[in-house]
Amino acid sequence: MTDTQELIKSLANQYGRKRESLLPVLQGIVERNRYLTDEATTEIARELDISASLVYGVASFYSFLYIEPKGKFIIRVCKTITCDMKGKSEIIRTIEDMLKIKLGETTQDKMFSLIDANCLGWCHQGPAILINDEPYTNLTPNKVRELIGEIIRNNK
């Protein structure tokens, strides 16, 4: 049995083998493996006795589930109108310039991924980003440069 199969079996034992168990199983896999492989999608379908297309459909719908490899640090930028009005575009440009990637891309060294999210729940303190699960608010280009610079220095 592969590590993926063991993980899925363990998650199914924990959450159950019903259709309602799909989301927590997917979240458990992404938490451990960072993304869902084709093997994981197929194995989840088998373990929960549902179609692989349903598993893929759910996985590709939710922005916090990944069907392709992402960086160690996932930077999510809030794309609401509120954050936009507070300077989100400037924040995105700053990050893109620092990391030499565009929105939706991952750095070659797999250190950072830059993606947008519908709402992070911090618009009252926008512009806001999440780096992995940590929110950063009231951002300016200088604050973003300091933040990303610190992450780079601490992860050399």
pTM of the model: 0.80
* Mean pLDDT value across residues 81-91: 89
In degrees, rounded to 5, the angle at the alpha carbon of residue 27 between the alpha carbons of residues 92 and 70 is 40
Q: What share of the chain is helix, strand, coil (3-state, %, to 5)?
A: 55, 10, 35
How far is the C-alpha of 60 from the C-alpha of 1, rounded, in Å?
A: 26
Check whether 1 has a pLDDT greater than 80.
Answer: no
Check whether 137 has a pLDDT greater than 90.
Answer: yes
In this predicted model, what pLDDT tens digit does every residue of 6-35 receive, in sequence order?
999 999 999 999 999 999 999 999 988 888
In this predicted model, what pLDDT tens digit does every residue of 40-72 receive, in sequence order?
999 999 999 999 999 999 998 887 888 888 899
Q: What's residue 118's pLDDT?
A: 83
Share of the chain above pLDDT 90, in %: 67
Which residue from 34, 32, 45 is spatially nearest to 3, judged by alpha carbons?
A: 32
> For residue 80, what are its two tokens?
């609401």
Q: Which burial class, exposed, middle or buried, applies to 85 when counting CB atoms under 10 A from its CB (0-12, 13-18, 19+)?
A: exposed
> Could you give all domains of the chain from N- to C-terminal order, each with its CATH number?
3-61 (1.10.10), 73-154 (3.40.30.10)
